[in-house]
Amino acid sequence: MCGIFGIENHPDSAHLTYLSLFALQHRGQESAGIASALNGNINFHTGMGITSDVFSEKRIEKLSGVSAIGHVRYSTTGSSHIKNAQPLVSKTRHGVLALGHNGNLTNASIIRKNLEDRGAIFHSSTDSEAILHLIAHGKGDFEESLIEALKAIEGAYSLVILTPEQMIACRDPQGFRPLVLGKLGESYVVTSETTALSLIKASYVREIEPGEIVFIKKGILKSVKIPIDKAVSRCVFELVYFSRPDSLVFGKGVQSVRQALGRALAQEMKGVRADLVMPVPDSGVPAALGFSRESQIPFEVGLVRSHYISRTFIRPSQALREIAVDLKLSPVKEALKGKKVILIDDSIVRGTTSRKIAQSLREAGTREIHMGITSPPIISSCYYGIDTPKSEALIANQRSLDEIRQFIGVDSLHYLSLEAMIEAAGGSHFCDACFTKNYPTPTSDQMMVVAGKGGLER
Ligand code: AMP
């Protein structure tokens, strides 16, 4: 769960990168950073917190250059520490390199051990640093060393790399995480989501293909493919929950996918009678609209969200997480009193949010709550960069449907079927391992350690 951005050959590169990090902020709030290239060197600044905490006008001025990359981080491996903030910048035998990574490598600890056995000194605990070391250890020139490094790593990576001369963007052969190419005048832009392109008025060119490396130098683009020996496996959860609805992700409008998920759920919940359909804001809004249109049950705003509280998930303890839900979501009593409601959300992870919401809807006088979730039960951890807890903390891994319903405290609970979710998301080539345990890469004990290291457990 990270956002990346890069712009090559633009005099305002640092400012544009800074603005774009705001558009990508939902992808990570733990740290932010920008690196820029000027006169054969790379300057950078990283800090803990959201973009506005980390950068001042003065800081951005100091980063002015001809090209820049930026990163927002939500840790999935490596702890929450400034050393893990990206872009990571290193002096190597290929010159100075800055790297921003979204995704999670599945063989990083093995690679790290091999490199450390050969004397490498790591400065961070992120999997991303292994990529820099591999490039630095490469035998050939920079391009050959990069390709060798990418062939050695497994798992999920969308990368943006900056050198004083060029910018490079790469996507893993399975295409787990999104990465798109845009154009602003004579400058190429790469970023996780198209919403960042729209913000800076860049046009959308295309996706960076799974297994593609693009080298961009003075506005000229060269594309290279690394061998693909595995099927494409895009993260379906990007469409269900993670990406912004105003983005195109994997070539699909996220908002229309979420509406389709809501329509599909309405089909599967046909028997449920209610006075109104309401979303858990903000993530449930497009799905609840789709549900309402399909079912002809009126859409209502039954919960108001405060935008001044950060994600509930980054609260350190269970008790504080629960209070944070109250702070964030407040029921609209006049809309709810005496009503039978269908409550739509995209997913249930631990059940904490849903339980608190159900409780506050009851306190507001709601008569019946029928909960609809636009994805199947999450039963297994993600090893590819979505921050999910260890399997034991996933409520659907531990309890039956009726036990979850009772825990949350709703009158009925409906999850969208896997088939309907995949169809609404556009058909095929998705990773659905968090719902099925069908991991598209080998799994190992090492990865079990990795899972659950992220924000949920802190
Ligand atoms: P929970 O209360 O633990 O079941 O959390 C469910 C809520 O968290 C839903 O409203 C989801 O939109 C949201 N959510 C799902 N996955 C994640 C995640 N990986 N990080 C943060 N929030 C999430």
Average pLDDT over residues 407-417: 98
Q: Are 259 and 289 in contact (CB under 8 A)?
A: yes
**pLDDT on residue 309:** 65
- Helix and strand tally (H, E) in the chain? 18, 23
Active site residue 235: no
Tell me the fold of 251-436: Rossmann fold (3.40.50)
Convert the pLDDT of each residue in 208-246 to its tens digit. Answer: 999 999 999 999 999 999 988 889 999 999 999 999 999
Alpha-carbon distance 79 to 389, whole Å? 14
Q: Which residues contact 439 (CB under 8 A, 6 or more apart)?
A: 383, 433
Average pLDDT over residues 439-445: 78
Convert the pLDDT of each residue in 300-312 to its tens digit. Answer: 999 999 877 655 4
**pLDDT on residue 321:** 63
Sign of CA dihedral 156, 225, 179, 94: positive
**pLDDT on residue 316:** 53
Number of Cα atoms under 13 Å in the Cβ half of residue 315: 19
386 lines ligand 1 (CB under 6 A): yes
Identity of residue 80:
S
pLDDT > 70: percent of the chain:
92
Average pLDDT over residues 326-355: 94
241 lines ligand 1 (CB under 6 A): yes
Ligand 1 pocket, mutate which of 240, 311, 313, 387 (most atoms under 8 A from CB): 313
Question: Is the model's pLDDT at 43 over the cut of 80?
Answer: yes
Q: How far is the CA of 348 from the centre of ligand 1 (A)?
A: 6
Which residue has 């001369």 as its token pair? 165
* Residue 211 backbone zone (phi > 0: left; psi -120 to 50: alpha; other: beta): left
Average pLDDT over residues 298-324: 73
Full DSSP string of 381-418? --SSS-----GGG-HHHHS-HHHHHHHHT-SEEEEPPH
Element (H, E) at 431: strand 430-431
345 lines ligand 1 (CB under 6 A): yes
What does the domain layout of the chain look like in residue ranges? 2-232, 251-436
Q: Which residues contact 312 (CB under 8 A, 6 or more apart)?
A: 321, 324, 325, 328, 352, 353
Alpha-carbon distance 186 to 161, whole Å? 19
Alpha-carbon distance 37 to 264, whole Å? 48
**pLDDT on residue 118:** 87
Q: How far is the CA of 5 from the centre of ligand 1 (A)?
A: 25
Q: Are 2 and 72 in contact (CB under 8 A)?
A: yes
Question: Is the model's pLDDT at 403 over the cut of 70?
Answer: yes
388 lines ligand 1 (CB under 6 A): yes
Alpha-carbon distance 55 to 384, whole Å? 29
Of ligand 1's listed atoms, the one at least distance from the Cα of 280 is 10
Q: Which residues pair with 68 in a beta bridge?
A: 7, 36
CATH entry 3.60.20.10 includes domain 2-232: yes
Alpha-carbon distance 319 to 334, whole Å? 29
Q: How far is the CA of 398 from the centre of ligand 1 (A)?
A: 17
Q: How far is the CA of 349 from the centre of ligand 1 (A)?
A: 5
Alpha-carbon distance 340 to 345, whole Å? 16
Question: Is the model's pLDDT at 76 over the cut of 70?
Answer: no
The protein residue with its alpha carbon nearest to ligand 1, atom 5, reads 349
311 lines ligand 1 (CB under 6 A): yes
How sure is the predictor about 435, in pLDDT bands with cuts at 50, 70 and 90? very high
Q: How far is the CA of 414 from the centre of ligand 1 (A)?
A: 16
Nearest to 159 by CA among 281, 316, 3, 353: 3
Nearest to 176 by CA among 159, 206, 155, 204: 155
Average pLDDT over residues 160-173: 98
More reliable by pLDDT, 289 or 109: 289
- For residue 126, the SS3 value is coil
Convert the pLDDT of each residue in 354-368 to its tens digit. Answer: 999 999 999 999 999
Q: Which residues contact 302 (CB under 8 A, 6 or more apart)?
A: 276, 278, 331, 332, 335, 336, 341, 343, 361, 366
Alpha-carbon distance 339 to 407, whole Å? 21
Question: Is the model's pLDDT at 449 over the cut of 70?
Answer: no
* Number of C-beta neighbours around residue 8 at 10 A: 28
350 lines ligand 1 (CB under 6 A): yes
The Cα-based distances of 427 to 233, 257, 283 in angstroms read 12, 11, 22
CA angle 23, 161, 28 (to 5 degrees): 30
**pLDDT on residue 263:** 98
142 lines ligand 1 (CB under 6 A): no
Alpha-carbon distance 249 to 237, whole Å? 11
The number of angstroms, rounded, from the C-alpha of 23 to the middle of its chain's C-alpha atoms is: 13
CA angle 371, 278, 358 (to 5 degrees): 45
Domains 2-232 and 251-436 share a fold: no
How sure is the predictor about 267, in pLDDT bands with cuts at 50, 70 and 90? very high
More reliable by pLDDT, 442 or 201: 201
Q: How far is the CA of 424 from the centre of ligand 1 (A)?
A: 20
Question: Is the model's pLDDT at 352 over the cut of 50?
Answer: yes
**pLDDT on residue 137:** 92
Question: Is the model's pLDDT at 447 over the cut of 60?
Answer: no
Identity of residue 346:
D
Which residue has 């399909």 as its token pair? 294
Which residue has 């449907």 as its token pair? 401
Cis check for the bond before 87: say yes or no (omega within 30 of 0). yes
How sure is the predictor about 428, in pLDDT bands with cuts at 50, 70 and 90? confident
Of ligand 1's listed atoms, the one at least distance from the Cα of 350 is 3
**pLDDT on residue 74:** 85
Average pLDDT over residues 188-194: 98
Convert the pLDDT of each residue in 90-147 to its tens digit. Answer: 999 999 999 999 999 999 889 999 889 888 888 888 889 999 999 999 999 999 999 9
Average pLDDT over residues 391-402: 95
Q: Are 223 and 184 in contact (CB under 8 A)?
A: no
**pLDDT on residue 446:** 46
Question: Is the model's pLDDT at 456 over the cut of 50?
Answer: no
Alpha-carbon distance 62 to 399, whole Å? 53
Alpha-carbon distance 124 to 130, whole Å? 10
Full DSSP string of 200-265? TTPEEEEEPPTTEEEEEETTEEEEEE----S---EEHHIIIIIS-TTSEETTEEHHHHHHHHHHHH
Identity of residue 215:
F
Question: Is the model's pLDDT at 54 over the cut of 50?
Answer: yes
